[in-house]
Homo-oligomer: A and B are copies of this chain.
């Protein structure tokens, strides 16, 4: 029974027979909701001494060169901690940074309005987020186009539907047909109504940030004092690399900390463009900027939940175009992880690709970046589904394709059963040399869920595949997202919460939302 009072949900409820989960025999056979855990030591590409050298170089950058920080309040906080402020330039001594390290929790719970969808951030935990930020969207039926609120909501539905996506998303394509002053209110309500997973708030303006936090509070139905103890919304702050922090972003770092919510500081350090042309140099710059963010965050409130974001990639030196899923990107994700573990912080990485089509390039660039994330010890893997063209497009087909990749990763991350029964001596005794295991008792007891069953991969032989129309992966992905939208149903919501949310959103829309000059 649906608890919701919202018309479209009531309509769905009346249709009847539509399953609330997707485990039924005729629906998409996806993996159950679960947060994967890394069961192996992260990869190490450099020595501890080399990690220390990069750490010290980062401290030297902050101390000698410093950061340009636009927000007066942020400069004041750092000045009070001993930083040298000259105009907008803030030189941050190493003792300020060292004092901030160790204050933020290494691991914490990120609360969703549905407690079953709360997730752990940090440690060996992994969570996948859908693509965020693209102004455009694309699908094979209607092509590439500016994102709309309808598309935006579809991506929220897909993020809710697929169990391997651990956040509500809500930003997979921009709702360009809604005025920017009130877009965050419409999208924010949609996220809460269409999903019950953890929430993101934009820190591109004071009103957007506080509206996002308030909507998260309403969704959880708790007072702000309780929410300060139970992080329930996160924001991503991209520094203006090199070494610059704009006003709204600095505000986000400070205010999220004060309210006990989650800040992820992610420098945008493209080696050769906004960072040195070497991966080592780009990582030192990334590290300096992330540590400056950490210091400001922890000075605003010691112990606030903080995520270290790594996004270092390189540009194509021939054209200046950003490249993603490259060998350099992967190295940066892994060595970045070595730095982050020195600080015992949760680590945000990304699944990325520069491809323009959902082809082999899209897949191998995504795999390079995802393996960099997993082997580097990434905890929160953003853009893990649907990211195309270096972030300019949220793609429906790429989203569906990535779901299969993420499920494969989740299956890989399941521990190997090495019990005596799994080692199968009885089966080998039964079958003996030269036989086959299709009918063995050991097989019959396990065959139905012995292996990962893919959603996209086509394992038919060539003749069968050809007879079926020779579908390529993007065509199977096209069918998958449509089926997922057809099978999707809205999560239940307490009618009182829905009413409070509506009242808040309508009031804020009437007030004009986030002021803009257009």
Which chain A residues have a beta carbon within 8 Å of chain B's beta carbons?
A: 39-41, 43-46, 50, 53-54, 57, 60-61, 64-68, 89, 144, 240, 242-244, 271-282, 284-285, 314-323, 326-328, 330-331, 335, 354-368, 371, 375, 389, 392-393, 401, 404-405, 408-409, 411-412, 414-420, 422-425, 427-429, 431-438, 440, 442-443, 446-448, 450-454, 456-462, 465-466, 470, 472-474, 477
In the complex, the answer to whether A434 meets B244 with C-beta atoms within 8 Å is: yes
Selected A-B contacts with CB under 8 Å, 9 pairs: A45-B416, A61-B428, A65-B432, A65-B433, A68-B434, A277-B446, A359-B363, A361-B458, A364-B408
In the complex, the answer to whether B423 meets A54 with C-beta atoms within 8 Å is: yes
Q: How many angstroms between the C-alpha atoms of A315 and B443 in the bound complex?
A: 12
In the complex, the answer to whether B470 meets A356 with C-beta atoms within 8 Å is: yes
Closest 7 CB pairs of A and B: A281-B424, A276-B424, A68-B433, A367-B367, A360-B363, A363-B363, A327-B411
User: What 7 new A-B contacts, CB under 8 Å, besides A281-B422, A330-B412, A392-B462?
Assistant: A43-B43, A275-B437, A278-B417, A319-B460, A328-B451, A356-B470, A361-B458
A432: chain B residues at CB < 8 Å are 65, 242-243
A60: chain B residues at CB < 8 Å are 425
A281: chain B residues at CB < 8 Å are 422-425, 427-428, 442
In the complex, the answer to whether B359 meets A472 with C-beta atoms within 8 Å is: yes
A152 to chain B, nearest CB (A): 20
Given the known interface contacts A359-B359, A452-B327, the answer about A416 and B446 at a Cβ–Cβ threshold of 8 Å is no
A318: chain B residues at CB < 8 Å are 453
Q: How many angstroms between the C-alpha atoms of A431 and B58 in the bound complex?
A: 16
Q: How many angstroms between the C-alpha atoms of A432 and B68 in the bound complex?
A: 9
A452: chain B residues at CB < 8 Å are 326-328
A1 to chain B, nearest CB (A): 35
Given the known interface contacts A327-B412, A411-B327, A451-B326, the answer about A356 and B458 at a Cβ–Cβ threshold of 8 Å is yes
In the complex, the answer to whether B461 meets A285 with C-beta atoms within 8 Å is: no
In the complex, the answer to whether A438 meets B273 with C-beta atoms within 8 Å is: yes
A447: chain B residues at CB < 8 Å are 272, 277, 317
A436: chain B residues at CB < 8 Å are 242, 273-274
Q: How many angstroms between the C-alpha atoms of A282 and B446 in the bound complex?
A: 14
Q: How many angstroms between the C-alpha atoms of A61 and B424 in the bound complex?
A: 10
Given the known interface contacts A360-B473, A437-B273, the answer about A423 and B284 at a Cβ–Cβ threshold of 8 Å is yes
A451: chain B residues at CB < 8 Å are 271-272, 314-317, 323, 326, 328
A89: chain B residues at CB < 8 Å are 433
Of the listed residues A392, A405, A461, the one surrounded by the most CB atoms of chain B closer than 10 A to its CB is: A461
A45: chain B residues at CB < 8 Å are 39-40, 415-416
